[in-house]
Chains A and B, each alone.
Chain A
Amino acid sequence: MKVPFIQFIDVTKSFGTQHVLKGLNLSIYKGEIIVIIGKSGTGKSVLLKHIIGLVQQDSGQILIKGEPLHQLPVEAVKSFQKELSYMFQDNALFDFMTIYDNIALPLVENSNFTKIQVKEKVLTRMKQMGLIGEEDKFPAQLSGGMRKRVALARAVVTDPKIVLFDEPTTGLDPVRKKNVHSMIKEYQEKFGFTAVIVSHDIPQIFNVAQRIAMLDDGVIKFEGSKRDILDSHSKILNAFIRGEDV
């Protein structure tokens, strides 16, 4: 049986009196694109933050390649976290840095690359994202779509093995949305990373997803392929896809 790369087992998380995750179970396999859908405020971003280590669960387990994350040696946790990259919903670009410096930051701070190597890597990503000529601008000088592309370039500049996308297309026009989706799919195929995408772009995101999971009321209510979704009789899922309240 295939061992999941990341596995959530009965994970719960509360913030004060607000219970966000209520015994969540989810498996993420190596090299796949899994899309998490669900209403706003159901804990999709919190789920991603558990993977990257920004949030710790109250109970339950998160397994990495079958091993409980909290039982792994510090070095193994660090090495796992170095394989991860995160694209924030609001981009989280550094306002005081130029576009070039924003993209170069993870390389400059963490690697032994020379300045020339960093420049080469950053410019390659900028070229791929259509950002050439914007190097010396600051994030505030760019449009929302361009900022998204900068955030995406920063997320993949370190060649991560797992990329977590938190609503990567929020605030983009349909054309840009399509471009970002194609970009994610193209890069995933090219570099083979595991992509976990939180998205509301239904049904467009289904063209990118290999597997879809629906989070509702703190648990995964549905998990399956695009075909499974279309065949599903789940009331909650169908209502959500149609944009109706249950």
Chain B
Amino acid sequence: MLIQSIEKFGEKILKLLESLGRIVLFFLIGVMNIFVLPFQFSKVIDHTWFIGTKSIFVIVLTGFFTGMVLGLQGYYSLIQVGSEAALGSAVSLTLVCELGPVFTAIMITARAGSAMAAEIGVMRISEQIDALKTMHINPVRFLFTPRIVAGVISFPLLTALFDVVGILGGFISGSIMLGINRYVYMDTVIKSVEINDINGGFYKAFAFSIIVTTICCYRGFYTHLYSGFGARGVSLSTTNAVVQSCVFIFIFDYIITFFLV
């Protein structure tokens, strides 16, 4: 009984290590192919359009309401200690350092990451990835490399957009709706946010772009290994891609913050 349990545990650890090795290899092949000629400019532009441009609306919407909520909650918390003038500082630092990169990454995962996993998963089960191999086209280079580049371009830009719109949302709820002096709000925003905070947010966005594109493409690419074939296999790998991306976003958010503070 004990030996069986140990065997099962060992088997799980081995499978985990195998998966880890496979994902690292997948990532490395994808990254190395960025520098292999000919560069895939048109594919990068297509995917940047899909991951970046098409996410603008949802990022603006969520960024705006996140800022509004922060302004509202912040105001009622700060007014109790007579520090409502620090609302601009609270909203902007929370957004730039934490919520901006994390929420942006989560929203992109939900919108573009799930689509990546599903699209590549369907390509796997309908033998399109095998077809690429038979045409001597490296499927990792063809499917993953342009997406990771597009992710690295899009995530920081969308994070910046989320931050700016969020600060504006905080301004509307804090200053226009609740009456905090608008000059005080803006002044505290400008004075409290330093270049290190902005850079920190960008480091996170950069890390999240790699995490999300790698996990989502990997899950789709290996649908047959983890989730099986068929429509259910694709739906499972899409769900797993989104859940795992979100979990790793939070884990890496903590790790990066730990080194930044």
Residues of A within 8 A of B142 (CB): 109
Looking at the assembled complex, report how far the CB atom of B10 sits from the nearest CB atom of chain A, in whole angstroms. 20
B133 at the interface (CB under 8 A from A): yes
Of the listed stretches A18-26, A87-95, A208-216, chain B binds: A87-95
A-B contact count (CB 8 A): 45
Q: How far is the CA of A109 from the CA of B134 in the complex (A)?
A: 12
Closest B residue, CB atoms, query A155: B134
CB distance from A40 to the nearest CB of B (A): 17
B135 close to chain A: CB less than 8 A: yes
Question: Closest CB-CB distance, B50 to chain A, in whole Å?
Answer: 11
Let me know if B128 and A54 touch, CB within 8 A. Answer: no
Collect the chain A residues with CB atoms within 8 Å of residue B127's CB: 88, 90, 92
* CB-contacts of B117-171 with A (<8 A): 119, 122-123, 126-128, 130-131, 133-137, 142
Give chain A's interface secondary structure class. Answer: mixed
Interface flags, A204-236, vs B, CB<8A=1, else 0 = 000000000000000000000000000000000
Would you call A85 an interface residue if the criterion is a C-beta within 8 Å of the partner chain's C-beta atoms?
Answer: yes
A84 CB within 8 Å of chain B: yes
**Residue in chain A with minimal CB distance to B142:** A109
Give Cα distance in the complex from A88 to B128, angstroms: 9
Contact B126 A92 (CB under 8 A): yes
- Which residues in A have their C-beta under 8 angstroms from that of B123? 94
Contacts A52-B133, A90-B126, A105-B137 aside, 15 further interface pairs with beta carbons under 8 A come to: A52-B134, A53-B133, A78-B136, A81-B136, A82-B136, A84-B134, A86-B131, A86-B134, A90-B127, A92-B131, A93-B128, A94-B123, A95-B128, A106-B136, A106-B137
Determine if A85 and B134 form an interchain contact, defined as CB atoms under 8 angstroms apart.
yes
Confirm or deny: A114 has a beta carbon within 8 angstroms of a beta carbon on chain B: no
Determine whether the beta carbon of B134 is less than 8 Å from that of A110: no
B: residues with CB less than 8 A from A are 119, 122-123, 126-128, 130-131, 133-137, 142
Q: How far is the CB of B93 from chain A (nearest CB, A)?
A: 42
B137 touches A110 (CB 8 A): yes
Contacts of B130 in A (CB 8 A): 49, 54, 88, 92
Report A's interface with B, CB cutoff 8 A: 49, 52-54, 78, 81-82, 84-86, 88, 90, 92-96, 105-106, 109-110, 158
Q: What CA separation (Å) do A116 and B133 show in the bound complex?
A: 25
Q: Which chain A positions have C-beta within 8 A of B135? A: 85, 105-106, 109-110, 158
Whether A94 pairs with B128 at a CB distance below 8 angstroms is yes
A sample of 19 cross-chain residue pairs with beta-carbon separation below 8 angstroms, ordered by A number, consists of: A52-B133, A53-B133, A54-B134, A85-B134, A85-B135, A90-B126, A92-B130, A92-B131, A93-B128, A94-B128, A95-B122, A105-B137, A106-B135, A106-B136, A106-B137, A109-B136, A109-B137, A109-B142, A110-B137
B226 CB to closest chain A CB, in angstroms? 15
A86 to chain B minimum Cβ distance, whole angstroms, is 4
Whether the Cβ atoms of B128 and A92 lie closer than 8 Å is: yes
Kindly state the separation between the CA atoms of A106 and B136 in the bound complex, as whole angstroms. 8
A95, B130: Cα distance in complex, Å: 15
Q: Which of B135, B136, B137 has the most CB of A within 10 A?
A: B135
B122: nearest chain-A partner, CB-CB: A95
Assembly CA distance A49 to B133 (angstroms)? 11
**Residues of B contacting A109 in the complex (Cβ-Cβ under 8 angstroms):** 135-137, 142
Nearest CB of chain B from residue A199's CB, rounded to whole Å: 18
Distance, CA A94 to CA B122, complexed state (A): 10
**A212 to chain B: closest CB distance in Å?**
24
- Give the CA-CA distance A92 to B129 in the complex, in Å: 8
Residue numbers in A under 8 Å from B133 (CB-CB): 52-54
Closest to B129 in A: A92
When C-beta atoms are compared, the residue in chain A nearest to B119 turns out to be: A96
Residue of A with least CB distance to B133 = A54
Q: Closest approach, in angstroms, between the C-beta of A140 and any C-beta of chain B? A: 12
Residue of A whose beta carbon sits closest to that of B40: A109
Query: A93 contacts which chain B residues (CB < 8 A)?
Result: 128
A90–B126 CA distance with the chains assembled, in angstroms = 8
- Collect the chain A residues with CB atoms within 8 Å of residue B122's CB: 95
Q: Which of A52, A92, A94, A95 has the most CB of B within 10 A?
A: A92
Please name the residue on chain A nearest to B138 by beta carbon.
A109
A53 to B136 CA separation, bound complex (whole angstroms) = 11
The list of the 6 closest CB pairs from A to B, nearest first, reads A92-B131, A86-B134, A106-B135, A92-B127, A109-B137, A92-B128
Q: How far is the CB of A31 from chain B (nearest CB, A)?
A: 21
